[in-house]
Amino acid sequence: MTQQRPLFLLSNDDGYEAKGLQCLIEALRPVADLLVMAPEDGRSGAGCSISAATPLRYRIVRQEPGLTLCACSGTPVDCVKVALNEFADRRPDLVVGGINHGDNSSVNTHYSGTMGVVTEGALQGIPSVAFSLCDHSANADFAPLMPYLADIALKTLNAKLPPFTCLNVNFPKAASFKGIRLCRMAHSRWEHELARREHPWGGTYFWLVGDCRELEPEADDTDRYALAHGYIAITPTQLDVTDYKLKDTLKSIFL
Amino acid sequence: MTQQRPLFLLSNDDGYEAKGLQCLIEALRPVADLLVMAPEDGRSGAGCSISAATPLRYRIVRQEPGLTLCACSGTPVDCVKVALNEFADRRPDLVVGGINHGDNSSVNTHYSGTMGVVTEGALQGIPSVAFSLCDHSANADFAPLMPYLADIALKTLNAKLPPFTCLNVNFPKAASFKGIRLCRMAHSRWEHELARREHPWGGTYFWLVGDCRELEPEADDTDRYALAHGYIAITPTQLDVTDYKLKDTLKSIFL
């Protein structure tokens, strides 16, 4: 009796047609059956948002042995929920987010729809890993990542991650990488975040922009440091966001 | 020379007209100047999402001594960003989210736009506290909360919270409360999350619904336990989501 191939559930926040997702499919197909449920269009900055007030739809775009690809009207987190509930006959062994076009290190974690995918996967009790490349362009070069993706995915699958944790993997924009670093999330802060524009018929509107200021530029154990020095940054991420230390120190104030 | 009153920045995810926000304004006006920048309409489940691809607008709805109320086209996090950048002449001393119509304890933290508000506040280095009432109805009764809001807000202002932390305060639906508990986030899992419907002209769509299953119903130190037993639950929340322990144990796998 041969062992069944694992099933990986893939989603992203750049939409089902994005090059990053297509490269991820190509890299992971040799090692797993793939169920892909990705947004119809770009959802950058979707975070862990869900569609509380809008109906959800999905359609099967492509179906062949070992691969089902669907496009969904919802957010990245919605995609995971729809996939798990609609394809419930076989539970995924791993949830994979990405490959994101753009940097999801440091505080970007909180805004990232790609991280939304793996947050939802981990909340559902499934090992989960997100891949991002620090290159925002639609035609970013994912070729240097290809030798690493299946390896990291399979290691995540077998790592026995504790409940309520997932992995945030960021690749620097580079032709090759110096290696892998296990990192902590760098503390940084977005500043100067509004670009003001005037509509031709009158009225002011704004685009979200910004500069990301490092709050600890000298630290050498952060994801930002690793990326700036040519390393792949793996940041283990926890979804129990309780600050246990603060829970004790605040007793004197609130109780 | 009299001391200047503090400035509180308020936002929510139920929209600027929501009863919960109006009650929050009423409760906090006696103790602070208020800048309110809230979504034009309901944004439940917005999490930390930002508008990466849509322009943002805001308008001043009401302006009088000690109170400026604005409605913004964006998400709760967008609202905080717009307020901080557009009203930059005076930096808020405290960011307050809510009062949310609905429970933001346990894993709901990740989907909550109200928590998005205070996540953004804390990422910007400002003490931040979110208030939620475990009652989803538009006409929920916020009267029992009124004696607590200014007190908890002022205590948060003076608590010297560490960087990258904020407070998640949930009130049970009750006529009165047994007291305050400092809690950890309960581990739970949403299940059965899709309600299938057929459009009259054909085509299937889904509403996000679900049952929240407790994964540790016997624990007595969680936010869920406190709420179920009539207590106000204060959950100290950290925005550095690095799992430091896992960072060490994964070295043997990835390095």
Question: Complex ipTM, two decimals?
Answer: 0.95
Helices of type H across chain B: 19-28, 76-86, 108-111, 113-123, 146-158, 223-228, 244-249, 251-254
Count of beta carbons in the 10 Å neighbourhood of residue A214 = 16
* B148 and A CB contact within 8 Å: no
| Cβ contact A254–B155 (<8 Å) | yes
DSSP-assigned beta bridge partners for residue A242: B237
DSSP for A108-153 reads HHHH-HHHHHHHHHHHTT--EEEEEES--STT---GGGHHHHHHHH
* B201 and A CB contact within 8 Å: no
Assign A2 a pLDDT band (cuts: 50, 70, 90). Answer: low
* B48 and A CB contact within 8 Å: yes
Count of beta carbons in the 10 Å neighbourhood of residue B200 = 6
* B209 and A CB contact within 8 Å: no
Within its chain, how far is the Cα of A129 from the centroid? 7
Which chain B residues contact residue A78 at CB under 8 A? Answer: 208
Count how many residues are written for chain A: 255
What is the rounded CA–CA span in Å between residue A137 and residue A101?
7
CA distances to A46, A233, B123 from A153, rounded to whole Å, are 23, 14, 30
* For residues B171-183, average pLDDT: 98
Assign B32 a pLDDT band (cuts: 50, 70, 90). Answer: very high
Q: Which of A109, A87, A155, A154 is nearest to A13 (CA)?
A: A109
Beta strands A232-238 and B33-39 are: unpaired
| End-to-end CA gap in chain B | 61
* A82 and B CB contact within 8 Å: yes
DSSP state of B220: S
CB-count burial class (<10 Å; 0-12, 13-18, 19+) for A15 = middle
Sign of the CA dihedral running A135, A17, A166, B246: negative
Chain segment B98-138, per-residue pLDDT in tens: 999 999 999 999 999 999 999 999 999 999 999 999 999 99
The structure's pTM equals: 0.96
Is pLDDT above 90 for A175? yes
Q: Which of B165, B170, B118, B163 is nearest to B149 (CA)?
A: B170
Chain segment A208-240, per-residue pLDDT in tens: 999 999 999 899 999 999 999 999 999 999 999
- Percentage of the residues of chain A whose pLDDT score is greater than 70: 99
What is the rounded CA–CA span in Å between residue B176 and residue B119?
28
* For residues B144-157, average pLDDT: 98
| Cβ contact A107–B123 (<8 Å) | yes
* For residues B233-255, average pLDDT: 96
* For residues A246-251, average pLDDT: 96
| pLDDT score recorded for residue B4 | 84
| pLDDT score recorded for residue B2 | 56
| pLDDT score recorded for residue A4 | 84
Is pLDDT above 80 for B3? no
* For residues A147-170, average pLDDT: 97
* For residues B52-66, average pLDDT: 96
What is the rounded CA–CA span in Å between residue B203 and residue B205?
7
Q: Which two tokens stand for residue B136?
A: 């989803």
Within its chain, how far is the Cα of A37 from the centroid? 14
Q: Which two tokens stand for residue B214?
A: 């407790």
CA distances to A112, A138, B185 from A61, rounded to whole Å, are 25, 21, 39
**Phi–psi pair at B19, nearest 5 degrees:** -60, -40
* For residues A114-118, average pLDDT: 98
Which chain A residues contact residue B248 at CB under 8 A? Answer: 182
* For residues B221-249, average pLDDT: 97
Scan for tokens 């960003």, then name that residue. Answer: B81
Facing A162 at nearest CB: one of B49, B236, B246: B246
* A201 and B CB contact within 8 Å: no
B64 CA: distance to closest CA in chain A (Å): 23
Which residues between 218 and 237 in chain B have a beta carbon less than 8 angstroms from any beta carbon of chain A? 234-237
What average pLDDT is seen over chain B?
96
* For residues A42-66, average pLDDT: 96
CA distances to A53, A59, A232, B9, B197 from B201, rounded to whole Å, are 21, 17, 50, 46, 12
- Among B110, B152, B205, the strongest candidate for a mutation testing the A interface, having the largest count of A CBs within 10 A, is B110
- Percentage of the residues of chain B whose pLDDT score is greater than 90: 98
Is pLDDT above 90 for B188? yes
Is pLDDT above 60 for A21? yes
